[in-house]
Amino acid sequence: MLQDLADPFAHAHPTIDMLQKSSLTGAVQQAIERLIHSGELAPGDKLTEMALAERLGVSRGPVREAFRVLEEAGLVQLEKNRGVFVREVSLHEALEIFDMRAMMEAHVGATLAVQASAEQLQILQTLMDSMEQAVAQQDHAQYYLRNVEFHETMVSLVGNQKLTSIYRRLTRELGLFRRRNLTQPSELLASVQEHRDILAAIGSRDPAKASDALRQHVLLSRERTERNHPQTLNPKDL
C-alpha cells in the first residue's frame, strides 16, 4: 500500500511500456517502408535485423516486430531458413491490382464529386501544386511520393476506413511498378496532365466525369506498366 501511495502510476507502467514499444515499432515500420518505396531497398533484397537496427538506432526487437507488420501489409516476405526479403510482385499480379484500383478509384472520384468540401478540394490542389513543382524540377522521386499521397488522400477523403485500408494494402505492393512508370520526362508530363483532369472533373461536381477520369488514369497507368515491363510477363501467369 505504501509503495502504491509513493508511486500512484506503478500499475500503469506495463501499459506505458507496451505503448512505447508499439510506437517504436510503428516508427521503425514506417522507416523501412520509406526505404522500400524510395527504391533504396529493392524487391528481392534481404533484410537483416542487425543492419537495420544499427541504421535506425534501435534494438533488434522493434525491427523484428516491424517485419511482422510489413509481412501482413504485403511488403516483405519471411522465408523459412532463409530470412526476410523485400517482396517481389509479379507483373501479372500487378496488372490485377491495377484492375482493382480502376474500380475502387472510379468510386472514389464519383463520391468526391458529390461530397468533397471546398477545404478538401484545396488539400488536393495543394498536392497538385507540389506535383507540378516536382515535374518542373524533373524530380522523379518527389513526384512519385506526391503522386502516391494525392491518390491516398483522395481515398481517405471518402471517409470509408475499410476502403482506405484495402486500397493502401493493394497499392503499396505496386510501388516498384509505379515508380518505374515515372522515369521519363514524357511519362511525367502525361501523368501530371491526367491528375489535372482528375481534379478538374471532381471540381466540376459531375460524378460520371470524375469517375471516368480516375478509371482512365489508372488504366493508362496499367498500360504504361505493360509497356515498361514486357520481358517480365510470363505466359504461364495468364
**Average model confidence (pLDDT) across the chain:** 85
- Which pLDDT score is estimated for 185? 81
Q: Domains of the chain, with CATH numbers? A: 9-86 (1.10.10.10), 91-237 (1.20.120.530)
% of the chain residues with pLDDT over 70? 87
Res 55: pLDDT: 93
Q: Which residues of the chain fall below pLDDT 70?
A: 1-22, 176, 230-238
60, 58, 57: which is closest to 48 by C-alpha? 60
Provide the pLDDT for residue 127.
Answer: 97
- The pLDDT tens digits for 180-238 are 777 778 888 999 999 999 999 999 999 999 999 999 999 999 999 988 876 554 434 43
Selection from 57, 60, 73, 63 nearest residue 28 by Cα: 63
Q: What pLDDT shows up at residue 80?
A: 87
